[in-house]
Amino acid sequence: MTEISTNLEKAKVILKSDELVAIPTETVYGLAANAFSENAVKKIFALKNRPAFNPLIVHIASISDLDKIAKNVTPLAMKLAEAFWPGPLTLLLEKKSIISDCVTAGNTTVAVRIPNHPLTLKLLSELPFPLAAPSANPFMSISPTNPQHVKNYFDGKLKFILDGGSCIDGIESTIIGFKDNQAVLYREGSCEIAELEKIAGILLKPEKTATTIEAPGMLKKHYAPKTKLVVTTNISESIQEHFGKKIGVLSFIALETFPEVYIQKHLSSGNSLKEAATNLYSTLIELDSLHLDLIIAEYMPDSGLGNTINDRLERASSS
């Protein structure tokens, strides 16, 4: 049985023995290992069944720790770090040789951030190494936002889950890289683009011709329930197209009742995209547990975190 506990000392002992611990962050729960140990990092890929070409994020305790894993950090990168760390921003920086190619999928850059969760920040500050940690879920599955989600995925296969309660942001970090001293958006996330652009200027998009995965979360299909998911601008039409099926509806706010569907869920009771983002994965996991034929999800408003949620829904519905 997998243990869920707030025992930091036990988490440290397990991590120092090159084993895995699930850790809380403000975004989602991570599956953590010693980032300096290739043996430990390989266990992440094995447990998640994650392909080796998909890089990991390294979590550090403070900006002063950057010097241990990254080099040639530009003034722009440092400005963003100082403005948004601890927080849901990941930076792609030139890696030092202490970070193995296993962590970075052979890339010369390492993805790094400081998570904004008091328990994990304390853990990181008391360890002699940073933690490599992708989301604590099987590859392609919905990211976990509370300890029970993690246990449901890995019960008996993972020793320990550090219990930090439910994640307050609920969607992964935003990932920013750099090209010719301009910021490049590799993944939309919980750190809003408008706030980033106040410091970095207009964010570039990565070149679509790239053959390698330069950052986590760039795969076309990701964050997906086992149940088929359809994303639509017109829920009524989609229901009629799939009439007779056992359907779950996921909307931004509460809608009229659709008598034809099995269950309706909404992400925000107060017209808040922040609340919707926080609730997205936990609600998808709930719907996915009901053995539905289909989940019909409504596109969110096309602004701010709405764009991030839409990105996750589109990846989750991709074939």
Question: Tens of pLDDT along the chain (319 residues)?
Answer: 999 999 999 999 999 999 999 999 999 999 999 999 999 999 999 999 999 999 999 999 999 999 999 999 999 999 999 999 999 999 999 999 999 999 999 999 999 999 999 999 999 999 999 999 999 999 999 999 999 999 999 999 999 999 999 999 999 999 999 999 899 999 999 999 999 999 999 999 987 755 668 888 777 778 899 999 999 999 999 999 999 999 999 999 999 999 999 999 999 999 999 999 999 999 999 999 999 999 999 999 999 999 999 999 999 998 7
Distance CA 79, CA 240 (A): 51
Cα 153 to Cα 188, 236, 238, distances in angstroms? 25, 33, 31
Distance CA 111, CA 218 (A): 13
Helix axes 273-288, 147-154, angle to 10 degrees: 30
Distance CA 202, CA 239 (A): 39
User: How many residues comprise the chain?
Assistant: 319
E strand or H helix that includes residue 57? strand 57-59
Distance CA 13, CA 58 (A): 19
Q: How many helices (H) and strands (E) does the chain have?
A: 11, 14
Query: What DSSP letter does each residue of 162-194 carry, written as one string?
Result: E---S-SS-SPPEEEEEETTEEEEEE--SS-HH
**Spatial CA neighbour of 317 closest among 229, 251, 219, 250:** 229
Give me the pLDDT at residue 319, please: 76
Sheet order of strands, 229-232 included: 229-232, 294-298, 247-251, 263-266
Strands 3-5 and 109-113 turn out to be unpaired
The residues that bridge with 30 in the sheet, in sequence order, are 23, 135
Give me the pLDDT at residue 209, please: 57
User: Tokens 């076309």 identify what position?
Assistant: 220
